[in-house]
Amino acid sequence: MTTLVVIAKEPVPGRVKTRLTPPFTPAEAALLAEAALADTLRTLLDVPAGRRVLALEGRPGPWLPAGYEVVRQCGGGLDARIAAAFAHCSGPALLVGMDTPQVTPALLAPATGPRSWPARRAWFGPAADGGFWTLGLAEPRPELILGVPMSTPATGAVQRRRLVEAGLDVRDLPLLRDVDTAADAAEVAAAVPPGGRFAAVYTRLGQREGVAR
């Protein structure tokens, strides 16, 4: 069965979601990051998997539910850290970021079912900012990620082209928006399924006068 990998940072004020400041304070931005991470981890507990791994920069906190194996992220750029996360896996692996709390089991179903992983299959979930929110490989190949320029408008296109040029059968999942800016946070909060922690935290913080609406 699929190994699900979440790559995340510990939600520490001043170290996560810095583009949310302003209008949010660093502490509020960290609360939103924690809520996004908690929603993502909770959702993936309802997704069929043989193993669940959290590749974490920092330390686990009360937001981490049972059922996850925690591995430390390596040093280096994001490409190296994603590649190292895949190196912890054997067989089909699907990596998900912490920035899309609107993800659902149904959205991931094409990549996590019993027929999702024929030989040379790859899954790719593009992000609205030009990056990607999920990446899946039938056989982990870290070298396909190393050297991809991260956090640019072309990141997703370069990564997907790498997969195609390696001869993989690339299938796409829906486009999602990452939470990077206050405008992103507002849009994602409206898309989170009912009961989502991210939406509740955003609504509570957004009631302050001056927070972007």
pTM of the model: 0.94
**Residue 213: its pLDDT value, please?**
43
Give the confidence band of 209 by pLDDT, cuts at 50, 70, 90. very low
Whether the pLDDT of residue 208 is over 70: the answer is no
**Residue 42: its pLDDT value, please?**
97
Give the confidence band of 210 by pLDDT, cuts at 50, 70, 90. low
Amino acid in the structure at residue 140: P
Percent of the chain's residues with pLDDT above 70: 97
∠ CA(181), CA(183), CA(188), 5° rounding?
95
Query: What's the rounded mean pLDDT across residues 52-62?
Result: 97
List the structure tokens of 77. Answer: 């750029």
List the structure tokens of 51. Answer: 């193993």
CATH code at 3-206: 3.90.550.10
Distance CA 169, CA 163 (A): 8
